[in-house]
Amino acid sequence: MSSETPSSRNVPSSREGSGSDLYRAVWRWHFYAGLLVLPFLILLAVTGGAFLFHTEIDNLWHRDLKVVEIRQTTPLAAGAQLEAALAARPGTALKIITPATPDASSEIVVKTADGARRSVYVDPYDGRVLGELADRGTLMWTIRRLHSLVEFGTIANGVIEIVAGWSILLVGTGFYLWWPRKQTGGVVSVRGTPGKRVFWRDLHAVTGAFAGLAIAVMALSGMPWSVFWGEHVNEWANSANYGYPAGVYDNVPMSDEHLAHANGPTSWSLEQAKMPLSAAPTGHPIGQPIGIDAAKAIFDGLGVAPGYTLSLPSGAAGVYSAAVYPADLSRQRVVHLDQYSGKPLIDMSYADYGPAAKAMEWGINVHMGQEYGLANQLVLLAVCLAIVLMAVAAGVMWWKRRPAGSLGVPPAPADPRAMRGLVLVMALFGLVFPLVGASLLAMLALDFAFARRPRRRPRPA
């Protein structure tokens, strides 16, 4: 969408009064939104575009760890694979991520004596240790942390929520500026050549017109991961016993531990779900666990999709857990077994989620490029490329039109009342997304102070 000075052909004349002032107000705030979020949007587009193909890239980058030769022999038992991993990296085994495909290795997460968590990769056919990394130390985990800004701390992670909100404002104001006003080009076609400002204006506007709605959807579907809004909406959506609806479990004692802490990455809807407790057999206070091989056999018998994470019990009251979140939402599943009897205590799938959780999970799956396979990936990759193109075009356009020695902020409306409607929309938006609302208030104050500053008249030649 456009941030350029409008030409006389597509801007309301001064005689149209309020229309011209409204255009100026929207243009000014489109400029502010772009100034704030375009650098972040480039980072999000580049990292997000790469993460769409996280499995393919990780399998290529870490091929020596993640890819094995397919053989006709039966894979080793999970217990034997754990023993091989612990022989190479002594410590306490926490979980095994089972192979999702016949050519995938097994990943065993081990906690060492010094408290570090290491991922040991094992060939499931012969137990050969292929190597190790820090837990979540793959290239794509690094890209994922950069995408969410969590790599830079909690405050930076909160910036994502503000960026997402301002991105939606950017799209809304951009559509208003792009809307045809009797101009002969710049609606679906690009005028001029790269040496002219109008070329970059049209490239920015036309690309935004086609990609804007998808960008807004991506920004909104990314909100569940935000540090403030996402956390509170998660608690609201899972207010009934933090995730597990009635009927999923029956008379099961629950701990204070949450699934996200105990089993690592989980679906958004189950982050606050509590973990059940195992009960030792009568007369045997300590009891004898069924073991990982028996637990895996039960999970496989229940039809849990391949590639699930099998977490081992943490303590005498812990449970064996299987969790899998494949591209097919219908196959998402979490199963907890009593470690002594092997009885399923909780068995939850996507079908058991409430309406809000289902909607959120669908949006997240689309956001990650998983829901509709390769088509989903390619469409979102095109959106990411469009974001980078729009950002570059906006930068060139701004550089060409800005006055020397000035930031080039678009002029404020002559009649301040033109801001009323825009401020009302921003206020409503801020009530829904409080961090975004706080940033809008800060920008309104700065804009008011900036608009009241007397303009310096140019010196006579």
Chain segment 154-180, per-residue pLDDT in tens:
777 778 889 988 999 999 999 999 998
**Residue 132 sits in the same domain as residue 152:** no
Q: Is the pLDDT of residue 12 over 60?
A: no
| Cβ-proximal residues to 5 (8 Å cutoff; 6+ apart), any chain | 401, 410
> 104 lies in which domain range?
63-137
Task: Answer yes or no: is 239 within a domain.
Answer: no
Number of domains the chain contains:
3
**Residue 121 sits in the same domain as residue 270:** no
Q: Is the pLDDT of residue 3 over 50?
A: no
| Cβ-proximal residues to 153 (8 Å cutoff; 6+ apart), any chain | none
Check if the beta carbon of residue 36 is closer than 8 Å to that of residue 430.
Answer: no
Q: Helix 373-401 and helix 197-221: axis angle, to 10°?
A: 140
**Residue 32 sits in the same domain as residue 156:** yes
- How many helices (H) and strands (E) the chain has is answered by 14, 10
Could you tell me the two tokens for 445? 């104050």
Task: Note the pLDDT of residue 422.
Answer: 83
Amino acid, single-letter form, for residue 342:
G
Total count of residues recorded for the chain: 461
Highest-scoring range by mean pLDDT, 173-182, 270-279, 380-389: 380-389
**Residue 436 sits in the same domain as residue 292:** no
Amino acid, single-letter form, for residue 205:
A
Which of the listed residues 120, 137, 154 is the one where a domain comes to its end? 137
Task: Give CA separation, 156 vs 37, 50, 214, 367, in Å.
Answer: 13, 21, 24, 21
Task: Note the pLDDT of residue 15.
Answer: 38
Which of the listed residues 96, 117, 137 is the one where a domain comes to its end? 137
SS3 for 159-187 is: HHHHHHHHHHHHHHHHHHHHCCCCCCCCC
In this prediction, residue 376 has a pLDDT band, given cuts at 50, 70 and 90, of very high
For 88, how many CA atoms within 13 A lie in the half-sphere containing its CB? 20
52 or 417, greater pLDDT = 52
**Residue 31 sits in the same domain as residue 154:** yes
Tell me how far apart the alpha carbons of residues 423 and 420 are, in angstroms, rounded to a whole number.
5
Q: Average pLDDT, stretch 430-438?
A: 87
In this prediction, residue 20 has a pLDDT band, given cuts at 50, 70 and 90, of confident
Tell me how far apart the alpha carbons of residues 319 and 332 are, in angstroms, rounded to a whole number.
19
Task: Answer yes or no: is 231 within a domain.
Answer: no
**Residue 255 sits in the same domain as residue 280:** yes
Complete DSSP assignment for 358-372: HHHHHHHHHHTT-TT
Task: Answer yes or no: is 230 within a domain.
Answer: no
**Least confident span in 207-211, 270-274, 371-375, 381-385:** 270-274
Q: Average pLDDT, stretch 428-455?
A: 81
Q: Helix 420-432 and helix 18-51: axis angle, to 10°?
A: 30
4 or 207, greater pLDDT = 207
**Residue 180 sits in the same domain as residue 310:** no
Q: What is the mean pLDDT of the chain?
A: 86
Task: Answer yes or no: is 50 within a domain.
Answer: no
**Residue 124 sits in the same domain as residue 163:** no
Q: Average pLDDT, stretch 110-118?
A: 96
**Residue 265 sits in the same domain as residue 338:** yes
**Residue 128 sits in the same domain as residue 172:** no
Tell me how far apart the alpha carbons of residues 87 and 90 are, in angstroms, rounded to a whole number.
6
**Residue 183 sits in the same domain as residue 310:** no
Task: Note the pLDDT of residue 281.
Answer: 65
pTM of the model: 0.86
pLDDT tens for 210-257 read 999 999 999 988 888 777 887 777 777 665 544 566 567 667 888 878
pLDDT tens for 384-431 read 999 999 999 999 999 888 887 778 888 888 887 888 888 888 888 888
pLDDT tens for 56-107 read 999 999 999 999 999 999 999 999 999 999 999 999 999 999 999 999 999 9
Task: Answer yes or no: is 51 within a domain.
Answer: no
pLDDT tens for 284-313 read 556 789 999 999 999 999 999 999 999 999
Q: Is the dihedral of CA 262, 268, 272, 276 positive or negative?
A: negative
